Amino acid sequence: MSFRKRNIGLSPGVDRNAVPNATAQPVPESTPGIRPSPDDGRPTTSTGTRSLDNLLAGHAGLPMGKLLLIEENGTTDFAGALLRYYAAEGVVQEQKVHVIGVPEQWGRSLPGLIGSAESLDEKRSDRRKDDRMKIAWRYERLGEFGAVAGSRGAPTTPGEQDAAAKEAPAFCHAFDLTKRLTHPSITNMSFIPIVPSKDSPFPAILKRLETAITSSAADTIHRIVIPSLLNPTMYPPDACQPANVLQFFHALKALMSAHTTRVTAMITMPLSLYPRSSGLVRWIELLSDGVLELCPFPHSADAMATSGAATSQEEPPQGMLKTHRLPVLHERGGGSDQNVGQDWAFILSRRRFEIKPFSLPPAEGDTEAQDASAAGGMPKKSDLDF
């Protein structure tokens, strides 16, 4: 790290000099759920999934005005879980959540709030503290802004982290999928139905979004949630005409860039119906700011997946996650982030959606060999005792 003077100690007091630079952006400090990006200071909001936040090119959140597209292969609904976290986070932060195309039932099935994501992490790390080897306590939280294990993302410094932790105590929350969210502002969600019509359903949706955003107070933050876009059970057949859906995406992009500090959007799409190798999907991706693809492991791969965990304490990954495009980073040219091009695995458990680097398990035979050696191969201490 040649940009830092070497003879200056790593104390938070020194490093804090860098922070005002980052926070100088016109971010309304009082807005809950918004914090400046540690990378370039633009306002970001949480996706409701801490490890997804950390994946987004060093911004530790979804930059405002950006649209994240999550594609999923197969018939599972992991993307739907991510979307529910995103919507639930919006409800908890008292942002205005617009859900498109699904009945209000969807809003009642949002996962229940446990607490802030930090508190959950604390608990977990307490539990694991004993069996974790301490290398250097001082570096322990170093990667925390980009806290996915192994990625020591952007030039984050302890000073920045501390400042951020104080500034935004509850930027991201933890949710429990088995519980139901009860929050006073849950009634504030708006559901925009798809009106069956002969023409494209999208102009009507856009009109409602546009009036909702322009008519709201200037400090209201909006989240646009579109579950399972172009799913034929919800959308009329004409909707997937390129002219309709691409104009919708373009207009949505225009709407979001007009209110760039107040809107974020997350959209999921079933890839089994609309494969990535088609021109239409590629154009949808080109029009999105961030593109993630979820590839759940098939059930037959359970055996492989089980051993995919590096240790027995870790849960086995349930699928792979590919990052095709990340907000802001790729708009500017892309490439320099360490999160790009890595293999990611995801684990969805009751309380969290975790994204971490995927690593192949040790060779299958080894465990047997280890077991054998543990059982009888190694001489016991008593045997060695003279």
Partner 1 sequence: MPSQPPLPPLLAPYVSTLPDSSLTLISSILGATSNWLVLRFLYAALSSASPNAAFGLDELQNGAKKKVVLVSFMRSYDFWKTEAKRLGLDLTRLADKKQFAFVDGLSELFYAPAATATPASVSPAGMGSSPRTTLPMRSPPGAVPGRSPQPVRPTATAVRGNLAKPAESGIAKKLHFTGRGLASLDALEADISSVIEQQKSSMEDGDELLLIIDQPDLLLAATSPSMGIGATEMAEWITGLQQRAHATVLTLATDAPLIHNASTMSGQLATPIETEHAALAIGLAHRARSVMQLRTLDTGAAKDVSGVLRISRGGGMITEEDNLEEREALYFIQRDGGVKVFGRGES
* 98 DSSP β-pair partners: 190, 224
Residue 360: DSSP 8-state: P
We find the least distance from the C-beta atom of residue 249 to partner 1, in angstroms, to be 8
Residue spans of beta strands (DSSP E) within the chain: 34-36, 43-45, 62-63, 67-72, 96-100, 111-116, 173-180, 190-192, 222-226, 263-270, 290-296, 319-325, 344-348, 353-357
CB of 241 to partner 1, least distance (A): 7
Tokens 């098939």 appear where? Answer: 298
For the bound state, the minimum distance from the C-beta of residue 17 to partner 1, rounded and expressed in Å, comes to: 18
The residue among 194 and 246 lying less far from partner 1, judged by its C-beta, is: 246
Give the nearest distance from C-beta 109 to partner 1 in angstroms.
Answer: 31
Measured CA distances, 23 to 64, 147, 158, 171, 337 (Å): 15, 20, 16, 16, 21
Between residues 108 and 332, which has the closer beta carbon with respect to partner 1? 332
Cβ at position 42, least distance to partner 1 in Å: 9
Smallest gap from Cβ 60 to partner 1, in A, equals 14
- Cβ distance to partner 1 smaller for residue 93 or 151: 151
The residue behind tokens 């009106």 is 195
182 vs 214 by CB, closer to partner 1: 214
Of 37 and 93, CB closest to partner 1: 37
Considering beta carbons, is residue 179 or 208 the nearer one to partner 1? 208
User: Least distance in Å: CB of 343 to partner 1?
Assistant: 10
Number of Cβ within 10 Å of residue 96's Cβ equals 21
CB closer to partner 1 out of 127 and 250: 250
Nearest distance from C-beta of residue 258 to partner 1, angstroms: 6
Q: Give the up-direction half-sphere exposure of residue 53: CA atoms within 13 A in the CB hemisphere.
A: 28
Q: Which own/partner pairs from 230-239 qualify as long-range (CB within 8 Å, at least 24 positions apart)? A: 230/269, 230/270, 230/273, 230/274, 231/270, 231/273, 232/273, 234/101, 234/102, 234/194, 235/101, 235/194, 235/201, 236/194, 236/196, 236/197, 236/201, 238/198, 238/199, 238/200, 239/194, 239/200, 239/201, 239/202
Closer residue to partner 1, CB minimum distance, 58 or 159? 58
Residues near partner 1, by CB under 8 A: 2-3, 39-40, 154, 203, 206-207, 210-211, 214, 241-243, 246-247, 250-251, 253-255, 257-258, 260, 276-283, 285-287, 291, 324-325, 330-336, 338, 340-342
Residue 195, strand partner residues: none
Task: Note the helical H segments in 151-276.
Answer: 158-167, 202-215, 242-258
